[in-house]
């Protein structure tokens, strides 16, 4: 489940962002190829690769940057043709993605979420790139968070390279915090503090809710998962075959939500909320806080007319673990070694080089795109120091508002297996406690446990 809007992916015809004069879209490779997968691509090798998620025309600034990056990449690799594929919408829409995998119609380099790895491998869709990725082909490899890379591995083999990652935290409306006598620079760090702050914010009246939650379209289950992680719980046991949420911690999460909803009246009367609803509420100063990833903020500014300075973030309350995720590119199984090398070279330049490609923050600012959101945030060591400093230097928003979130990182935990199927079941748990004052928490959890066990085959 992505944190912004559902992304859309289709394998449409290539929209020519070509980086050489090679007009043969089906060409494999020619020239001075090196058969050793550990050796980077020889610049003399002539090769064409297709890549999805080229920004559409409607995203003029992002498309401009893509074309600039292709031109810069071609200064090193003049014989590589990048064929960008674009859609009118955004990048990945799950049903179409599944259909594409089954039809083997994905481009040479295709976009996925971290949680897509099982599905891709079940369809024999991705190349094992372990031998192709090293400190020569990806010089900053050692500075990429191993937890992020591990999301792209199975049985020790690497199947993708990251584009972005996220961890969830507590997003706050600074204006409402101040009006309620709370300090927005120190967001609540425990669920007890969340409950107390929510009650104060709701006390402002005028239909303002202190804390908001999802309970529909699989997103209720997604956020129940985040809350379970935050208190040290889990959704599925280590075997992956049995539900693990019908516990004292599961009951604790639900009873806290039930108390905020019915005893404190701090969550508002309208429930069955889905993605987009909480964003509109916090933007119009009708909601004080909710769980989110940092990329909700530019969405609310760019699409809903909010101001960056009105938002802040702290770590997820409880801070035991937090839901983590992200997106990446994989490489189609069966393409030539030179195509794989070209793909790794492009992904390294575009997505994995501090100060270049997506991390060229000075250019991002000049193009009136947001700078300062604390994601992607997969760098470690000197790369992290350099990138963080550049984000602050070229920030287009008050980065101090995210200081508590950045200074108190919480260990990220991946989504459970068969996440969407499980989330759909857990929606009923969340909607039960938020729409029924007399909800039976034990019964809700027991029913969901039985249904999830059927899905997992345990």
CA distances 162 to 111, 320, 347, 351, 404, Å, are 10, 25, 9, 8, 25
Cβ density class 348-376: b for 16+ within 10 Å, e for less: bbbbbbbebbbbbbebbbeeebbbbbbeb
Per-residue pLDDT at 86: 86
Per-residue pLDDT at 375: 86
Tell whether 16 is covered by a domain.
no
Pair (198, 332) in one structural domain: no
Tell whether 18 is covered by a domain.
no
pLDDT at 173 over 90: yes
pLDDT at 12 over 90: no
Residues 6+ apart with CB under 8 A from 146: none
Per-residue pLDDT at 302: 87
**Is 107 in contact with 323 (CB distance < 8 Å)?**
no
**219: helix, strand or coil:** helix
Measure the CA–CA gap between 10 and 312, rounded to whole angstroms: 35
Measure the CA–CA gap between 401 and 294, rounded to whole angstroms: 11
Work out the number of other CB atoms within 10 angstroms of the CB of residue 141.
Answer: 15
Pair (35, 158) in one structural domain: yes
pLDDT at 17 over 80: no
Average pLDDT over residues 270-281: 97
Average pLDDT over residues 27-56: 81
Tell whether 232 is covered by a domain.
yes
**Is 371 in contact with 361 (CB distance < 8 Å)?**
yes
Tell whether 132 is covered by a domain.
yes
Q: Residue 259: give the domain boundaries.
A: 169-292+418-456
Location of structure tokens 């992020």 = 148
Average pLDDT over residues 16-23: 36
Average pLDDT over residues 226-232: 98
Query: Sorting pLDDT into bands at 50, 70 and 90, what band is 394?
Result: very high
Average pLDDT over residues 225-240: 96
Measure the CA–CA gap between 258 and 54, rounded to whole angstroms: 44
- pLDDT tens-digit readout, 397-441: 999 999 999 899 899 898 898 888 999 999 999 999 999 999 999
Per-residue pLDDT at 14: 32
Measure the CA–CA gap between 210 and 177, rounded to whole angstroms: 9
Measure the CA–CA gap between 299 and 276, rounded to whole angstroms: 10
Query: Sorting pLDDT into bands at 50, 70 and 90, what band is 93?
Result: confident
Query: Sorting pLDDT into bands at 50, 70 and 90, what band is 377?
Result: confident
Average pLDDT over residues 235-257: 97
**Is 73 in contact with 19 (CB distance < 8 Å)?**
yes
Query: Sorting pLDDT into bands at 50, 70 and 90, what band is 34?
Result: low
Query: Sorting pLDDT into bands at 50, 70 and 90, what band is 21?
Result: very low
Pair (270, 203) in one structural domain: yes
pLDDT at 33 over 80: no
| Closest by CA position to 111, among listed 161, 145, 69 | 161
Tell whether 20 is covered by a domain.
no
Measure the CA–CA gap between 170 and 292, rounded to whole angstroms: 6
Which of these ranges, 27-31, 82-86, 326-330, has the smallest mean pLDDT? 27-31
Angle subtended at Cα 295 by Cα 176 and Cα 230, rounded to the nearest 5 degrees:
75
Pair (175, 161) in one structural domain: no
- pLDDT tens-digit readout, 305-339: 999 999 999 999 999 999 998 999 999 999 999 99
Q: What mean pLDDT is reported for the chain?
A: 91
Residue 123 CA to its chain's centroid (Å): 23
Average pLDDT over residues 36-47: 93
Angle subtended at Cα 293 by Cα 292 and Cα 294, rounded to the nearest 5 degrees:
120
Location of structure tokens 């991705």 = 126
Pair (128, 222) in one structural domain: no
φ, ψ for residue 172, nearest 5 deg: -125, 150
Q: How many domains does the chain have?
A: 2
Angle subtended at Cα 215 by Cα 4 and Cα 211, rounded to the nearest 5 degrees:
80
Pair (135, 196) in one structural domain: no
Tell whether 399 is covered by a domain.
no
Per-residue pLDDT at 30: 53
Angle subtended at Cα 310 by Cα 301 and Cα 261, rounded to the nearest 5 degrees:
100
> End of a domain among 351, 377, 393?
393
Pair (373, 452) in one structural domain: no
**Is 81 in contact with 50 (CB distance < 8 Å)?**
no
Pair (155, 197) in one structural domain: no
- The pairing of beta strand 80-84 with beta strand 46-51: parallel
Per-residue pLDDT at 92: 76
Tell whether 90 is covered by a domain.
yes
- pLDDT tens-digit readout, 182-222: 999 999 999 999 999 999 999 999 999 999 999 999 999 99
Q: What percentage of the chain exceeds 70 in pLDDT?
A: 91
- pLDDT tens-digit readout, 100-110: 999 999 999 99
Angle subtended at Cα 91 by Cα 86 and Cα 97, rounded to the nearest 5 degrees:
105
Pair (102, 205) in one structural domain: no
Pair (91, 150) in one structural domain: yes
Residues 6+ apart with CB under 8 A from 232: 249, 318, 320, 321
pLDDT at 367 over 80: yes
pLDDT at 140 over 60: yes
Average pLDDT over residues 216-242: 96
Tell whether 223 is covered by a domain.
yes
Pair (212, 228) in one structural domain: yes
Query: Sorting pLDDT into bands at 50, 70 and 90, what band is 13?
Result: very low
| Closest by CA position to 299, among listed 311, 316, 314, 288 | 311
**Is 310 in contact with 304 (CB distance < 8 Å)?**
no
Query: Sorting pLDDT into bands at 50, 70 and 90, what band is 254?
Result: very high
Per-residue pLDDT at 88: 59
As a whole number of angstroms, the longest Cα–Cα distance in the chain is 72
- CATH number of the domain that residue 240 is part of: 3.40.190.10
Pair (122, 41) in one structural domain: yes
Residues 6+ apart with CB under 8 A from 404: 185, 186, 187, 312, 313, 314, 315
Q: What percentage of the chain exceeds 90 in pLDDT?
A: 80
- As separate numbers, helices (DSSP H) first and strands (DSSP E) second, the chain gives 16, 13
Per-residue pLDDT at 430: 98
């Amino acid at each position: 489940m992505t944190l912004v809007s559902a992304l859309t992916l289709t394998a449409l015809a290539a929209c020519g962002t070509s980086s050489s004069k090679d007009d043969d879209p089906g060409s494999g490779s020619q020239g001075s190829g090196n058969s050793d997968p550990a050796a980077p691509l020889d610049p003399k090798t002539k090769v064409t690769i297709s890549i999805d998620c080229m920004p559409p025309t409607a995203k003029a600034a992002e498309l401009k940057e893509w074309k600039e990056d292709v031109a810069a990449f071609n200064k090193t690799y003049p014989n590589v043709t990048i064929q960008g594929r674009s859609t009118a919408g955004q990048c990945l829409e799950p049903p179409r993605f599944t259909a594409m995998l089954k039809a083997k119609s994905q481009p040479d380099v295709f976009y996925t979420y971290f949680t897509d790895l099982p599905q891709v491998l079940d369809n024999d869709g991705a190349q094992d790139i372990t031998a192709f990725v090293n400190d020569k082909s990806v010089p900053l490899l050692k500075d990429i968070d191993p937890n992020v890379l591990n999301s792209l591995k199975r049985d020790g083999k690497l199947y993708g390279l990251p584009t972005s990652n996220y961890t969830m935290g507590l997003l706050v409306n600074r204006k409402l915090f101040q009006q309620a006598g709370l300090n927005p620079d120190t967001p609540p760090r425990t669920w007890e503090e969340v409950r107390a702050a929510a009650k104060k914010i709701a006390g402002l009246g005028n239909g303002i809710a202190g804390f908001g939650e999802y309970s529909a379209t699989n997103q209720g289950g997604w956020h129940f998962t985040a809350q379970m992680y935050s208190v040290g719980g889990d959704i599925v046991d280590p075997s992956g075959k049995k539900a693990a949420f019908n516990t004292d911690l599961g009951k604790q999460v639900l009873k806290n939500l039930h108390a905020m909803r019915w005893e404190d009246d701090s969550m508002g009367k309208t429930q069955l909320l889905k993605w987009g609803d909480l964003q509109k509420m916090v933007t119009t100063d009708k909601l004080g806080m909710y769980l989110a990833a940092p990329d909700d903020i530019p969405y609310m500014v760019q699409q809903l007319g909010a101001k960056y300075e009105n938002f802040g973030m702290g770590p997820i309350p409880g801070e035991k673990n937090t839901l983590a995720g992200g997106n990446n590119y994989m490489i189609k199984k069966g393409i030539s070694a030179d195509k794989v090398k070209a793909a790794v070279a492009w992904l390294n330049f575009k997505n994995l080089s501090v100060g270049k490609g997506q991390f060229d923050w000075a250019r991002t600012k000049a193009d009136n795109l947001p700078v300062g959101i604390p994601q992607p945030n997969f760098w470690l060591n000197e790369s992290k120091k350099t990138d963080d400093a550049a984000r602050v230097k070229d920030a287009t928003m008050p980065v101090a508002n995210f200081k508590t979130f950045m200074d108190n990182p919480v260990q990220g935990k991946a989504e459970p297996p068969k996440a969407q199927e499980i989330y759909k079941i857990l929606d009923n748990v969340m909607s039960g406690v938020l729409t029924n004052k007399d909800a039976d928490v034990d019964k809700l959890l027991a029913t969901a446990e039985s249904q999830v066990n059927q899905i997992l085959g345990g």
